[in-house]
Chain A
Amino acid sequence: MGYYILKRLLAMIPTLLGVAVLIFLLLRVIPGDVVEARYLTQGSQFQSQDLMDQERQKLGLDKPLWKQFTAWMGGLAHLDFGLSMWTSAPITEEIKLRFALSLQLALMASTIATCLAIPLGILAAIKQDTWIDYAVRVFTIAGLATPSFWLGTLMILGMLIIFKWVPPMMFTPLWVNPWDNLALLIWPALAVGYRYCAVGTRMMRSTMLEVLREDYIRTARAKGLWLKLILTRHALKNAILPVLTVISMEFAFLLGGLVVTEQVFNLNGLGMLFVEAISHRDYTLTQALVMLVATFFLVINFAVDIAYAWLDPRIHYR
């Protein structure tokens, strides 16, 4: 097991290297760079070429690509992300608060989703092809079909029209004012959580259906075991693993993928930072963000695999 963990951790390195090369090249293929982006926003396209070249030299953009890449890699090797090309502030400072916000939102959404998905999925499976099953399925398929940004807009609109109340529009960290923080984040968490819960419920239902047809369940029922006991002791334990996978994969996605929902609720999370960084052609910031989200994804993937081995004694990794 120890050997397996080591092997998996080492296997992350080439994948991360691939991600690094991909984002590095992609950014340089996008037309324009940070210097041009800045002058365009200042409205003076007629800057002298000299000035722009000086600016590029300062940022190291005049060096050959391989030098820029090795410099970046060298920094990453001792966890130095460098400075943002747009604001010149350290990237760790730029990311810190936004990461906290995105992480909290993702955690809240996944709590809501998990608490709903597991019972709903089991219920739909044991009542297969009854109106309960149909209702749960319609609820979940609707969840997959509703854009969370639209759901968010409807929520804000509903509160505005019915209660004449708008959620606070300024983000306050949890440790400063928990009430304001939750009053703001609960709505996007619900809007995102609905879709998330739908994904989990569907997986729970289908794995449960599969497990319930196994022989050992029939045996358990035949010897007259209490249904609740069969479900929790025999069925759930075997059906929960794929649900765990989809829930953690969605979680990894939530961290950097909530661009539109963040825009609707006026939240400054990682998603919005991505859009800003790319439109500013802020190479260093975009690269750091991509590496952060990719690492997060790989670590969660890894954690799920370890959890599999831990929860299912039949699985042995070598």
Chain B
Amino acid sequence: MAASAQTLEELARHAEPRWPWLAAVANFARRRPLGAVGAGLVLLTAALAATAHLVAPYDPLANDYGAMLAAPSAAHWLGTDAFGRDVLSRIIYGSRTALTVGLGASFLGASLGSLIGVTSAYFRGRVDLLVQRVMDVFFAFPVIVLALAVVAILGTGAGNVILAIATPMVPRCARVVRASALAVREMPYVDAARASGFRHQRIILRHMLPNVMAPILIMATAFLGEAILLEASLSFLGLGVQEPTAAWGLMLRGAAVEFAESAPWMAIFPGLAISLAVFGFNLFGDSLRDALDPRLRTQ
């Protein structure tokens, strides 16, 4: 009897994973291999950004006039640019710019957009109608003009670029979140909260917002990749962060085009960095959506 009880306990202990979160990660990786690859890329980008000052072999701003436009070699793995700056180091430091702008813009755009969406759905009636019409105007407005105008008014620099990229995201997020919030608005607990005499602000923030978190999360991850791309485009046009800051879009500009034939590494590697980072965020976001949206789940 005693022996069998012990084996039962042992069995139970074996069934129980020793590292529960590690098991969860392993489970996620097994069931969504693409998502795991994406998460890996995201983690890699984040780790590079956090430890750029430790991992980068050179100072990203240091000029080595003895090695201008040098081809990839043991000293400079990915070559150097027209000012003799190490391309690899600049790519590693560039991840900081990309992540700052990407996270900042998607957080700002998604939170402002969802707040507007939920508020509009909560009040309905005239407020909703007015908000919808204003959102229509922003929708019809060309995205690039909005971004160009924000940069022209506020000037370049990371903070303004975040604002420029977040602005067009607000109406898109507001529309999606409003649709979900309209359903939540009909839930009995919202009626109960109103009957209890809670203030509008409290109902919107504490009762409705948490219940539309899934679409917000999906939108925010989708925005992240887009924001990194848009930041690269703006930098490429000279409207993003300014030289000598290390930013991927900036690295593709000017000399990279001019010397593309003789020094193709300048045009290839920063673009590869953009693609890989956005690829990672998109893969991860995709799997997240599959996991959160039960309708698309594999049966």
Contact = CB atoms under 8 A, between A and B. Distances in A.
Interface string A160-190: 1100000000000000000000000000000
B260 interface: yes
B275 A146 contact: yes
Contacts of A75: none
B275 A147 contact: yes
B54 interface: no
Contacts of B143: 253, 257
B95 to A, nearest CB: 15
B91 interface: no
B237 A260 contact: yes
Contacts of A264: 257
A129 B139 contact: no
B149 A30 contact: yes
A260 B286 CA distance: 27
B278 A144 contact: yes
A68 interface: no
A150 B275 CA distance: 9
A142 B153 CA distance: 34
B229 to A, nearest CB: 6
B233 interface: yes
Interface string B24-67: 00000000011000000000000000000000000000000000
B282 A141 contact: yes
B252 interface: yes
Interface residues of B, number: 47
Nearest to B285: A141
A306 to B, nearest CB: 18
Nearest to A209: B296
B278 A154 contact: no
Given A141-B282, A161-B264, A150 B149 contact: no
A260 B234 CA distance: 8
Nearest to B257: A153
A30 B295 CA distance: 47
A259 B141 CA distance: 15
A210 B140 CA distance: 30
B295 A18 contact: no
B13 to A, nearest CB: 34
A256 interface: yes
Contacts of B137: 15, 18-19, 22
Nearest to A27: B149
B225 A157 contact: no
A142 B38 CA distance: 11
Contacts of B233: 147, 149, 259-260
A126 interface: no
B267 A142 contact: no
B298 interface: yes
A259, A263, A274: most-surrounded residue (chain B CB, <10 A): A259
Interface string A128-161: 1100001001100110111101100110110011
Contacts of A253: 143
Given A30-B152, A257-B143, A294-B140, A213 B299 contact: yes
A9 B298 CA distance: 42
B215 interface: no
A43 interface: no
B149 A256 contact: no
A interface SS class: helix
Contacts of A160: 260-261
Nearest to B136: A15
Given A14-B133, A150-B275, A278 B264 contact: no
B144 interface: yes
Contacts of A260: 233, 236-237
Contacts of A256: 142, 144-145
B179 to A, nearest CB: 14
Interface in A214-270: 253, 256-257, 259-260, 263-264
B34 A137 contact: yes
A297 to B, nearest CB: 5
A31 interface: yes
B247 to A, nearest CB: 13
B212 interface: no
26 contacts: A15-B133, A15-B136, A19-B137, A19-B140, A29-B153, A128-B298, A141-B279, A141-B283, A144-B278, A144-B282, A145-B229, A145-B275, A149-B236, A153-B256, A156-B260, A157-B267, A157-B268, A160-B261, A210-B296, A260-B237, A274-B148, A275-B148, A278-B149, A290-B141, A290-B145, A293-B145
Interface of A: 14-16, 18-19, 22-23, 26-27, 29-31, 128-129, 134, 137-138, 141-142, 144-147, 149-150, 153-154, 156-157, 160-161, 206, 209-210, 213, 253, 256-257, 259-260, 263-264, 271, 274-275, 278-279, 286, 289-290, 293-294, 297-298
Given A19-B137, A264-B257, 5 more contacts: A22-B137, A141-B286, A150-B271, A153-B252, A154-B271
Interface of B: 33-34, 133-134, 136-145, 148-149, 152-153, 225, 229, 232-233, 236-237, 249, 252, 256-257, 260-261, 264, 267-268, 271, 274-279, 282-283, 286, 295-296, 298-299
